[in-house]
Structure 1
């Protein structure tokens, strides 16, 4: 019986004090990108939630290098998902001896990195950095708005 080599490693961050919607805004930008490109994006994004996600991506790469012995240049973020966690409940004192409940949202983030050098299928077109998916050559047609007005 042949045993397949495991090519995916994950890192899980639980109870991160960040709302799931704010974390998804960041996660959608890094899904499917290479490890080096992901680190650059997370360092330059102006959001507070980038730092815990940066630490998770770094941890996933460290897990891949220690568990599988893979090189960081061959890693790709294959799966990244955000789930809602439990809300931390606090009470804030208000006027006349009353209290006001505050619910701080938390989330669970899962980052899965894949080593593309040991992948059997080697779908390089998906991970290609030279021809990204978002750069498609299109021609734009601009209509002359000022000359098309009938007077």
Structure 2
């Protein structure tokens, strides 16, 4: 089931039981790298955050090969972000009938994968527009390239 004109595919992991700060430490290392290089880096890093991120990168690669029919050698991690999720709040019983609050943070991780073999824009897109002046031409070109 190939989708036309799709160049990016994402994988989303929600409610991962980990601080967003700890997951960002790993995500910053893989952003912008190739798919195969990312897998090697994640398998060798000694952090607990690597395992759920590795599963998401595998999932994004599988999504890309299924929906776009792309080869995994042509994939790069175009966007990787970590957002804070809900915080599970519990009370831990302490001495003399007291209790201390415990916060268990969660995070949401998004990995977007882009295929380099598919061009980001087609040259004929520039021919659709008839700009009146130079300013509108640059604005329209900027809109297409972004």
Deviation at 1:120, TM superposition (A): 4.0
Equivalences, count: 120
Cα RMSD of the aligned pairs, angstroms, is 1.7
Q: Residues 99 and 7 of structure 1: is their aligned pair in 2 closer, same or farther, counting only changes over 3 Å?
A: same
Deviation at 1:88, TM superposition (A): 1.0
Q: TM-score, normalised by structure 1?
A: 0.75
Structure richer in helix, relative to its length: 2
Structure richer in strand, relative to its length: 2
Q: Which residue of 2 aligns with 1:29?
A: 29
Q: Which residue of 1 aligns with 2:78?
A: 78
Between 90-99 and 102-111, the greater mean CA deviation after superposition: 90-99
Q: Which residue of 2 aligns with 1:134?
A: none
Q: TM-score, normalised by structure 2?
A: 0.78
Please, which runs of 5 or more residues in structure 2 have no aligned partner?
Answer: 122-146
Deviation at 1:95, TM superposition (A): 0.7
Q: Which residue of 1 aligns with 2:131?
A: none
Please, which runs of 5 or more residues in structure 1 have no aligned partner?
Answer: 122-151
Q: 1:91 and 2:91 equivalent?
A: yes
Q: 1:109 and 2:101 equivalent?
A: no
Structure exhibiting the larger radius of gyration computed from Cα positions: 1
Where do residues 2-151 of structure 1 align in structure 2 (5 Å cutoff)? 5-120=5-120
Q: Which residue of 1 aligns with 2:137?
A: none
Cα offsets for 1:32-79 (capped at 9, x unmatched): 000000000000001000000000000000111111111111110000
Counterpart secondary structure, 2:10: strand
